[in-house]
């Protein structure tokens, strides 16, 4: 091995290349055996570090830089992922549960630290490490359709308080460990921290909104602005002698409302989850001493067991207190407990910060044994928490749909309702159909014409010609001629269905924005687009045309992969997993198309095997209640299948149908790592026609 190391050039590129290959290869291997990818990265760090092959040295400047950037990015994404809208709905109860689920584990951890002989400062920091939580179970409650349950909403909102409070305790403990502690210095530290927090939370929020307003669609500059805000806030935190992760988390909260759920957030999270956050976990592994870790599990079992027991007991008592105060049932209480168990983002970042903090005597704020105990805690809770969440949350009755639609709302004509949607002031139903590929143009225009004819509306075939510097360039002339030919064919198809066509050519330097702008100008009710298979690195970094239209459009978007002529589609399958306004809009679209073709509609709900049968009956009844609100005579069937693999069931059921209509969804974990979703899997496996329906900004 030494001979191999001697052959490698002495350059930071070697370390960076090894990290890239590690992140590329290791997580998929561990996920294939049902283990979290981050566990694989930790183990890879141990193997590659000084206790293993010696390929990476945690003291190298390159490793330190990348690990620090990953740590900052992890805490920034944790703040960015918190749903402030859900927090505001139940802020009082979220604050109450947040105090309980922070204070009780803090007390338990402090008692464990004092019990094994640590000083008050180290013991209190140990307690704070147990007090925060990472919402690894969020995708599970989302999948089960109980994310709007009050107990779940309160737990999500409590994350804000627990993370902020834990980081504040870290800041104070680090200051005390520095050695120059006096009551006056503590007051000064808290005052400077309060002023800093106000500047970051309100200043960056205002600055971000102003910058985004002025830059409009300049996503690249907005992405750089967000990154600049993160690292500027982190440097500012160090100037007042608090850890940089405090600033990263606060700026995540500050720009939360600014970036929303749009393409800039997607880019920020993609870069973090692909590069920097995995680098942080590898860096954590490099710091692990295997012999010390084994020692923590054997000779220091009291410390490790105390840390784990303190967390389990403290979080359980906090959930029990919430049950008593807010009158939740046992399943809701246990779901709150399981959701608050995983210790990943704030816990690991704070533990590393404490481990790396030295005083004048070169004494660490937390010892290696505590650091190893936290790693064990992370490994156990990151596996145990989601497992328990899936068990308990599946037994919670889904909340009643918060949808009150009268008969007029269900006419499926002009009233496509959305909070931020432009409502057309014209009486005609308008469908915009972008055309580019001659091979798929006919089916798309035919679909648009069918929908427009049903509503006595018009279809707007649209061709985008890419702009050039000079408007008389030969390339632009060729593109315009091509657009004219495409639109001539589109008008012919529209005429076959006796539908008025209003063809449009747009010269634009951005295809997605060109589509969205024309749709707005035409006061469109719907955009019908063709499916694109391009999903390369550029699409992941900058988003493809479909992603950008979903985000920027003012009206619903239906992306289609049509295997047959629309007039030959008579059996339609619509998977339904929960009842939300977006799902209702998808169902309305399905009914609209089914009525144009006298097609039959099947609503398929795939339930978890742990779900109570009574809850499934309630859900079916909710669906029937919604269907009764429509005046369309569409033959509809509601079907429920119990199975743990929803994608497998839907793909198999789709073999008996001509078309499947799915809604557009994306999921992210609070740790910033992407979670594969059912929709993505099905799109790759379905062989029949497919529609991906999305609301504006989805």
- pLDDT surpassing 90 at residue 185: no
157 pLDDT above the threshold of 50: yes
pTM: 0.58
Q: How far apart are CA 485 and CA 429, in angstroms?
A: 25
CA distance linking residue 225 with residue 602, whole number of Å: 47
The closest alpha carbon to 89, from 139, 152, 161, belongs to 152
Which distant-in-sequence residues (6+ apart) come within 8 Å of 338 by Cβ?
Answer: 137, 385, 386, 388, 389, 391, 392, 393
Tell me which range, 80-89, 356-365, 551-560, is most confidently predicted by mean pLDDT: 551-560
CA dihedral 337, 341, 342, 348 (to 10 degrees): 140
pLDDT of residue 423: 40
The backbone torsions φ and ψ at residue 694, rounded to the nearest 5 degrees and listed phi first, read: -140, 145
In this predicted model, what pLDDT tens digit does every residue of 601-636 receive, in sequence order?
999 888 777 666 777 787 788 788 777 776 667 888
pLDDT score for 432: 93
Residues 565-573, mean pLDDT to the nearest whole number: 90
Task: Give the tokens for residue 650.
Answer: 């839907």
Residue 325: pLDDT over 60: yes
Q: Is the pLDDT of residue 13 over 60?
A: yes
**Confidence (pLDDT) at 571:** 92
Name every residue whose Cβ is closer than 8 Å to that of residue 63 and which is 6 or more positions away in sequence: 15, 56, 57, 283, 286
Greater confidence (579 vs 667) lies with 579
Mean pLDDT across 567-587: 84
Question: CB burial class (10 A; 0-12, 13-18, 19+) of residue 295?
Answer: middle
DSSP 499-551: -EE--EEEEES-HHHHHHHHHHHTT-SEEEEE-----SHHHHHH--HHHHHHH
pLDDT single digits (tens) 198-209: 888 888 888 888
Answer whether residue 691 shows pLDDT above 50.
yes
234 compared with 695, residue with greater pLDDT: 234
Measured CA to CA in angstroms, residue 99 lies from 149, 166, 321, 381, 460 at distances of: 20, 11, 11, 21, 56
Residue 204 DSSP one-character state: I
Backbone angles phi, psi at 572, to 5 degrees: -120, 135
Instruction: List pLDDT tens digits, range 443-462.
Output: 999 999 999 988 889 999 99
Mean pLDDT of 20-31: 85
Please give the Cα distance from 480 to 73 (Å, whole number). Answer: 45
521: its two tokens: 């100008």
What is the pLDDT, as a whole number, of residue 410? Answer: 39
Nearby residues of 363 by Cβ (< 8 Å), 6 or more positions away: none
DSSP 411: S
- Does residue 579 contact residue 403 with C-beta atoms inside 8 Å? yes
User: In DSSP terms, which residues pair with 605 in a beta bridge?
Assistant: 640
pLDDT digits (tens, 9 = 90+) for 74-86: 778 767 766 676 6
One-character DSSP codes across 364-406: BSS-HHHHHHHHHHHHHHHHHHHHHHHHHHTTSPPPPP-----
Structure tokens at 364: 């660490």
- 69-72's contacts with Cβ under 8 Å and 24+ in sequence apart are 69/276, 69/279, 69/280, 70/276, 70/277, 70/278, 70/279, 70/280, 70/281, 70/283, 71/244, 71/245, 71/248, 71/280, 71/283, 71/349, 71/352, 71/353, 72/230, 72/231, 72/234, 72/244, 72/245, 72/248
Which residues lie closer than 8 Å to 474 by C-beta, 6 or more apart? none
Whether residue 552 contacts residue 518, with contact meaning beta carbons closer than 8 Å, is answered with no
pLDDT of residue 576: 86
pLDDT band, residue 405 (cuts 50/70/90): very low
- Residue 361 has what DSSP assignment? T
d(CA 188, CA 292): 38
Share of the chain above pLDDT 90, in %: 8
Per-residue pLDDT tens over the stretch 99-113: 999 999 999 888 988
Residue 163 has pLDDT above 60, yes or no: yes
Q: What are phi and psi of 57, to 5 degrees?
A: -115, 120
Position with higher pLDDT, 289 vs 569: 569
The Cα 64–Cα 647 span in angstroms is: 41
Strands (E), 186-289: none
pLDDT band at 668 (very low <50, low <70, confident <90, very high): very low
Map out the domains of the chain with their CATH numbers: 71-283+290-393 (1.20.1530.20), 398-418+556-698 (3.40.50.620), 423-543 (3.40.50.620)
3-state secondary structure 1-17: CHHHHHHCCCCHHHHHH
């Amino acid at each position: 091995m030494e001979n191999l190391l001697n052959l490698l050039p002495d350059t930071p590129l070697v370390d960076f290349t090894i990290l890239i290959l590690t992140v590329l290869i290791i997580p998929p291997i561990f996920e294939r055996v049902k283990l979290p990818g981050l566990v694989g990265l930790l183990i890879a760090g141990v193997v590659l570090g000084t206790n293993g092959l010696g390929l990476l040295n945690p003291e190298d400047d390159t490793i330190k830089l990348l690990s620090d950037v990953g740590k900052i990015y992890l805490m920034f994404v944790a703040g960015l992922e918190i749903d402030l809208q859900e927090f505001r709905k139940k802020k009082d109860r979220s604050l109450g549960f947040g105090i309980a689920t922070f204070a009780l584990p803090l007390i338990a951890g402090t008692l464990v630290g004092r019990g094994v002989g640590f000083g008050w400062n180290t013991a209190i920091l140990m307690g704070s490490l147990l007090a925060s939580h990472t919402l690894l179970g969020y995708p599970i409650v989302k999948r089960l359709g109980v994310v709007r349950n009050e107990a779940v909403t309160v737990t999500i909102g409590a994350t804000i308080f627990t993370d902020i409070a834990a980081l504040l305790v870290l800041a104070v403990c680090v200051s005390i460990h520095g050695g120059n502690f006096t009551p006056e210095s503590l007051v000064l530290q808290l005052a400077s921290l309060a002023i800093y927090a106000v500047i970051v939370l309100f200043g960056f929020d205002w600055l971000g909104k102003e910058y985004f307003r002025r830059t409009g669609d300049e996503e690249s500059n907005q992405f750089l602005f967000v990154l600049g805000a993160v690292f500027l806030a982190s440097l500012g935190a160090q100037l007042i002698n608090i850890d940089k992760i405090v600033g990263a988390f606060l700026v995540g909260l500050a720009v939360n409302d600014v970036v929303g759920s749009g393409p800039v957030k997607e880019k920020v999270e993609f870069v973090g989850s692909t590069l920097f956050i995995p680098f942080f976990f590898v860096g954590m592994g490099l710091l692990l001493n295997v012999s010390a870790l084994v020692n923590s599990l054997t000779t220091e079992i009291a410390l490790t067991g105390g840390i784990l027991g303190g967390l389990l007991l403290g979080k359980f008592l906090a959930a029990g207190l919430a049950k008593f105060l807010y009158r939740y049932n046992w399943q809701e209480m246990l779901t709150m407990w399981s959701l608050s168990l995983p210790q990943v983002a704030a816990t690991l970042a704070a533990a590393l910060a404490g481990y790396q903090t030295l005083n004048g005597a070169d004494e660490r704020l937390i010892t290696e044994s505590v650091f190893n105990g936290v790693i064990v805690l992370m490994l156990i809770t990151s596996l145990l928490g989601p497992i328990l969440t899936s068990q308990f949350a599946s037994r919670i009755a889904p909340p009643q749909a918060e949808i009150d639609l009268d008969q007029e709302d269900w006419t499926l004509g002009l009233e496509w309702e959305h909070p931020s949607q432009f409502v057309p002031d014209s009486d005609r139903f308008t469908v915009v159909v972008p055309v580019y590929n001659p091979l798929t143009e006919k089916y798309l225009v035919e679909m648009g014409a069918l929908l427009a004819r049903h509503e006595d509306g018009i279809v707007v075939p649209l061709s985008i010609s890419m702009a050039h510097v000079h408007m008389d360039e030969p390339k632009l002339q060729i593109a315009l001629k091509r657009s004219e030919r495409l639109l001539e064919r589109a008008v012919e198809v529209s005429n076959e269905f006796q539908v008025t066509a209003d063809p449009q050519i747009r010269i634009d330097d951005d295809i997605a924005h060109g589509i969205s702008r024309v749709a707005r100008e035409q006061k469109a009710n719907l955009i019908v687009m063709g499916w694109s298979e391009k999903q390369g690195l550029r699409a992941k970094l900058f988003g493809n045309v479909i992603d950008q239209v979903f985000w920027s459009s003012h009206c619903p978007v239906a992306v289609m992969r049509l295997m047959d002529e629309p007039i030959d589609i008579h059996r339609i399958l619509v998977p339904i997993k929960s009842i939300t306004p977006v799902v209702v809009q998808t169902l309305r679209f399905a009914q609209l198309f089914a009525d144009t073709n006298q097609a039959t509609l099947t609503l398929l709900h795939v339930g978890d095997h742990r779900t109570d049968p009574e809850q499934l009956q309630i859900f079916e009844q909710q669906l029937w209640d919604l269907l009764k609100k429509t005046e369309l005579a569409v033959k509809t069937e509601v079907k429920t299948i119990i199975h743990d693999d929803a994608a497998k069931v839907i793909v198999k059921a789709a073999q008996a149908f001509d078309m499947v209509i799915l809604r557009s969804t994306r999921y992210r974990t609070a740790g910033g790592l992407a979670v594969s979703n059912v929709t993505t899997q099905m799109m790759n496996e379905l062989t029949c026609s497919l529609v991906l329906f999305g609301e504006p900004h989805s």
